Structure 1
Amino acid sequence: MAKETRLEALHRALTEKAGQPVLFGDLVRAVWGDTPPSSPLPALRTLVRRLRQSVDDEIVTDASGYRLVVRLPGPSQLPADLPDFVGRREELAALSSSDERVLAITGPPGIGKTALAVRLAHRIRDRFPDGQLHVDLRGFATGPTVTTTQAVGRFLRALGVPPPEVPPGLDEQVELYRSKLRGRKVLVLLDNATGLSPLVPDVEGCAAIVTSRNELPGQTGLGVLTDGEADVLLDRMKIGGSPDDRAELVRLCAHLPLALRIAGAQLADRHLPDYLADLRGDDRLDALEIEGDAAVRAAFALSYQALPDDARRLFGLLSVHPGADFGPASAAVLGETSTEEGARLLGVLARAGLVQQSGERFALHDLIRLFASEQAGTDGPPALRRLLSFYLATASNAAGVVSPGLTRLDPIPLEVEGREFATADEAGAWLDGKRGTLVAAVQVAPHPFAHRLTDAMRGYLNYAGHRPELGVALESGLASARAAGDRPGQAAMHNGFGHLHWVLGAYPKALESYGEALELTESPVVRATLFNNLGLVRRDLGDLDGALADMEEARRTVPEESALHANVLMNLGTIHGARAELRQAVAHLTKALRRHEEAGAWVRAAVCHENIAVAHIELGEYDEARPHLESAMAGYERYGMADSNKPNLLANLADVADQAGEHDQARAFATEGLELARRFGDVRVEVEALIRLGEAREAAELADRIDYPVGRRKALLEIAVHDRALAAEVLADVRASGDRLLEAKAVLALALASGDHGLALEALELARAREQGVVVRRAEEFLAGSAAPAAPSAQPPANGGSTSS
Structure 2
Amino acid sequence: MNSLGTDGGGTAHNAAYNTVSGDAVIVGPVLMAQRIEGLQLPTPPPDVPPSQGPVPSRVFVNRTRELADLRDAALSLAAGPEPGVVLVVGVGGVGKTQLVAQAVRRELHQLFPDGQLHVDLADHRRDGVVDLAAVLGEFLRALKVHKDYVPAGLAERTALFRSVAAGLRLLVKVDDVQHAPEARALVPPRGVLVATGRRVLPSLLMDGAALIDVAPLDETAGTELVRRWHADADEGTAADVVRLCAGHPLALRAALEWLAARPQLTLDDVVRDLTAGRYGTDDDGAGEAMAVAMGTAGETEEGGVGEAVDAVLDSVVAGVAGHTRHLYDLLGVLPGTTATADLLAAAGATRVDEGLGELLSCRLAVLVESPDRPRRYRLHDVVRAHARLRARTLPEERRRAALRLVVDFYADAAAHGDAVVLGDRFRIQPPPDRSLSELAVRGTLFTGRAEALEWLDAERVNFRAVIRVAADEGRYEQVWRLCESLWALYHSRKHLADCEESGRLGIEAAQHEARPDVEVRMRNQVARAAYELGDLDRAESQLDAAVDLLGLVGDPRLSGVVQESRGLIALARGRSEESPGAAYDRAEEARQFFEHALAANRAVPDPHGIVVQSYNVAQALVAGERWADALDVLDEAAGTARAGGDEPMLPRIDLVRAHAFAGLGSLDRAVAAAGAAADAAAALKQFAKLDQALELLAALADRAEDRPLRAACEEKLSALRRTMGLRPPAAPTA
- TM value normalised by structure 1: 0.66
Q: Which amino acid aligns with 2:501?
A: E
| Displacement after TM superposition at 1:264 (Å) | 0.8
Structure 1 residues 306 and 482: CA distance shift in structure 2, 3 A: same
Among candidates 529, 548, 559, match of residue 519 of structure 1: 548
Structure 1 residues 592 and 309: CA distance shift in structure 2, 3 A: farther
Deviation readout 1:203-249 (Å, 9 max, x if unpaired): 68622322222233464333332222121111221264444443333
Structure 1 residues 645 and 170: CA distance shift in structure 2, 3 A: closer
Among candidates 529, 532, 539, match of residue 564 of structure 2: 532
Give the match for residue 312 of structure 1. 325
Aligned residues of 2:112 and 2:169 also touching (Cα < 8 A):
yes
Give the match for residue 251 of structure 1. 243
Give the SS at the match of 1:602: coil
Distance 1:282 1:443 in 2: 38
Distance 2:489 2:126 in 1: 28
Give the match for residue 229 of structure 2. 237
Give the match for residue 571 of structure 1. 616
Among candidates 587, 591, 599, match of residue 548 of structure 1: 591
Distance 1:570 1:645 in 2: 15
Give the match for residue 153 of structure 1. 137
Among candidates 471, 485, 498, match of residue 456 of structure 1: 485
Give the match for residue 373 of structure 1. 388
Give the match for residue 10 of structure 2. none
Give the SS at the match of 2:183: coil
With 392-401 and 189-198 compared, the bigger mean Cα shift is at 392-401
Q: Which amino acid aligns with 2:111?
A: R
Q: Which amino acid aligns with 2:563?
A: F
| Displacement after TM superposition at 1:265 (Å) | 1.2
Deviation readout 1:381-439 (Å, 9 max, x if unpaired): 44344334333433333333433465444348678866686533343443454455545
Among candidates 84, 87, 94, match of residue 59 of structure 2: 84
Structure 1 residues 143 and 498: CA distance shift in structure 2, 3 A: closer
Structure 1 residues 554 and 202: CA distance shift in structure 2, 3 A: closer
Distance 1:539 1:205 in 2: 39
Among candidates 562, 586, 591, match of residue 606 of structure 2: 562
Matches within 5 A, 1:400-799: 400-404=419-423, 406-411=425-430, 423-435=448-460, 437-438=462-463, 446=471, 448=476, 452-462=481-491, 464=492, 466-467=493-494, 469-479=495-505, 481-482=507-508, 485=511, 491-500=520-529, 502-503=531-532, 510-521=539-550, 522-523=552-553, 524-539=556-571, 541=574, 542=584, 543-558=586-601, 559-563=603-607, 564-576=609-621, 585-608=630-653, 610-611=655-656, 636=681, 640=685, 642-651=686-695, 653=697, 662-666=706-710, 668-669=712-713, 690=733, 693=734
Q: Which of 1 and 2 has greater Rg?
A: 1
Among candidates 327, 333, 338, match of residue 346 of structure 2: 333
- RMSD of aligned alpha carbons: 4.4
Distance 1:210 1:112 in 2: 13
| Displacement after TM superposition at 1:267 (Å) | 0.6
| Displacement after TM superposition at 1:260 (Å) | 1.0
| Displacement after TM superposition at 1:110 (Å) | 3.1
| Displacement after TM superposition at 1:560 (Å) | 4.0
Aligned residues of 1:532 and 1:551 also touching (Cα < 8 A):
yes
Distance 1:297 1:140 in 2: 26
Structure 1 residues 655 and 263: CA distance shift in structure 2, 3 A: closer
Deviation readout 1:610-669 (Å, 9 max, x if unpaired): 5556556666778877887676556655654x1122233335555876899855315643
Aligned residues of 1:647 and 1:673 also touching (Cα < 8 A):
yes
Structure 1 residues 575 and 265: CA distance shift in structure 2, 3 A: same
Matches within 5 A, 1:195-214: 195-200=179-184, 206-214=191-199
With 327-336 and 79-88 compared, the bigger mean Cα shift is at 327-336
Structure 1 residues 188 and 245: CA distance shift in structure 2, 3 A: same
Deviation readout 1:472-526 (Å, 9 max, x if unpaired): 3323432563487456555434423443455566666654543343235543321
Q: Which residues of structure 2 form unaligned runs of 5+?
A: 1-29, 31-35, 78-83, 206-210, 282-299, 370-374, 575-583
Deviation readout 1:532-554 (Å, 9 max, x if unpaired): 23234434524233233223323
Identity %: 26
Matches within 5 A, 1:215-234: 215-217=200-202, 219-234=211-226
User: Does the alignment pair 1:267 with 2:259?
Assistant: yes
Give the match for residue 135 of structure 1. 119
| Displacement after TM superposition at 1:296 (Å) | 1.4
Deviation readout 1:327-379 (Å, 9 max, x if unpaired): 33333333456xxx533432121112211135743221111112222344344
Q: Which amino acid aligns with 2:388?
A: S
Distance 1:352 1:146 in 2: 31
Give the match for residue 25 of structure 1. none
Structure 1 residues 65 and 233: CA distance shift in structure 2, 3 A: closer
Aligned residues of 1:616 and 1:625 also touching (Cα < 8 A):
yes
Give the match for residue 367 of structure 2. 357
User: Does the alignment pair 1:389 with 2:421?
Assistant: no
Give the SS at the match of 2:117: strand
Distance 1:505 1:216 in 2: 33
With 448-457 and 629-638 compared, the bigger mean Cα shift is at 629-638
Distance 2:448 2:254 in 1: 44
With 183-192 and 497-506 compared, the bigger mean Cα shift is at 497-506
| Displacement after TM superposition at 1:262 (Å) | 0.7
Give the SS at the match of 1:290: coil
Give the SS at the match of 2:648: helix
| Displacement after TM superposition at 1:259 (Å) | 1.0
Distance 1:566 1:204 in 2: 44
Distance 1:677 1:482 in 2: 43
Deviation readout 1:105-159 (Å, 9 max, x if unpaired): 3222232223223223333332222322221122899998753333233223333
Structure 1 residues 400 and 623: CA distance shift in structure 2, 3 A: farther
Aligned residues of 1:514 and 1:530 also touching (Cα < 8 A):
yes
Among candidates 151, 173, 194, match of residue 178 of structure 2: 194
Give the SS at the match of 1:356: strand
Aligned residues of 1:138 and 1:144 also touching (Cα < 8 A):
no
Aligned residues of 1:165 and 1:678 also touching (Cα < 8 A):
no
Aligned residues of 2:313 and 2:383 also touching (Cα < 8 A):
yes
Aligned residues of 1:654 and 1:666 also touching (Cα < 8 A):
yes
Give the match for residue 115 of structure 1. 98
User: Does the alignment pair 1:398 with 2:427?
Assistant: no
Structure 1 residues 674 and 276: CA distance shift in structure 2, 3 A: closer
Distance 1:181 1:605 in 2: 35
Aligned residues of 1:157 and 1:163 also touching (Cα < 8 A):
yes
Give the SS at the match of 1:77: coil
Deviation readout 1:761-801 (Å, 9 max, x if unpaired): xxxxxxxxxxxxxxxxxxxxxxxxxxxxxxxxxxxxxxxxx
Distance 2:121 2:180 in 1: 11
Q: Which amino acid aligns with 2:303?
A: I
| Displacement after TM superposition at 1:191 (Å) | 1.5
User: Does the alignment pair 1:343 with 2:353?
Assistant: yes
Structure 1 residues 637 and 343: CA distance shift in structure 2, 3 A: farther
Aligned residues of 2:124 and 2:135 also touching (Cα < 8 A):
no
Give the match for residue 289 of structure 2. none
Distance 1:441 1:645 in 2: 36
Structure 1 residues 590 and 152: CA distance shift in structure 2, 3 A: closer
Aligned residues of 1:498 and 1:514 also touching (Cα < 8 A):
yes
Give the SS at the match of 2:65: helix
Structure 1 residues 150 and 616: CA distance shift in structure 2, 3 A: closer
Structure 1 residues 327 and 589: CA distance shift in structure 2, 3 A: same
Distance 2:148 2:464 in 1: 17
Give the SS at the match of 1:316: helix
Greater relative contact order: 1 or 2 (C-alpha under 8 angstroms, separation 6 or more)?
Answer: 2
Structure 1 residues 163 and 322: CA distance shift in structure 2, 3 A: farther
